[in-house]
């Protein structure tokens, strides 16, 4: 099952252009979001409250390994993206290196 909130950079760029043309404020945050916890939820809710549309940049598995070591991430980028996309505060998720 694919969640439409999980997108690629090219599609997201088009969506952001449309949102800005409508006068919407787009907010961006990023992170690994492995083992999602209440601190992550607080961050995402505050970020969403700062604008009309929240984009979450999600570190890829390779990126997380470079940052945190070979035993990370615990959950795959696909699983982490699906969890983030399920949150009401998140409007779009894009995986990056």
* 36-62 per-position pLDDT tens digit: 999 999 999 999 999 999 999 999 999
Question: What confidence score (pLDDT) does residue 1 get?
Answer: 52
User: What pLDDT does 91 receive?
Assistant: 99
41: CB partners within 8 A, 6+ apart: 87, 89
What CA–CA distance (Å, rounded) separates 23 from 83?
29
d(CA 32, CA 35): 9
Dist. CA 67–CA 58, nearest whole Å = 13
Q: Where are the domains of the chain?
A: 6-96
User: pTM for the full model?
Assistant: 0.95
**pLDDT value, residue 73:** 98
The set of residues, in sequence order, having a beta carbon less than 8 Å from that of 60 and lying 6+ positions away, is 77, 95, 96, 97
Domain 6-96, CATH: 3.40.50.620
């Amino acid at each position: 099952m694919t969640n439409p909130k999980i997108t690629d950079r090219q599609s997201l760029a088009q969506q952001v252009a449309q949102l800005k043309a409508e006068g919407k404020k787009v907010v961006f945050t990023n992170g690994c979001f492995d083992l999602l916890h209440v601190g992550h939820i607080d961050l995402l809710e505050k970020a969403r409250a700062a604008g009309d549309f929240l984009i979450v940049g999600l570190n890829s598995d390779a990126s997380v390994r470079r940052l945190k070591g070979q035993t990370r991430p615990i959950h795959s980028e696909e699983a982490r993206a699906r969890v983030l996309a399920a949150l009401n505060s998140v409007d779009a998720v894009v995986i990056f290196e």
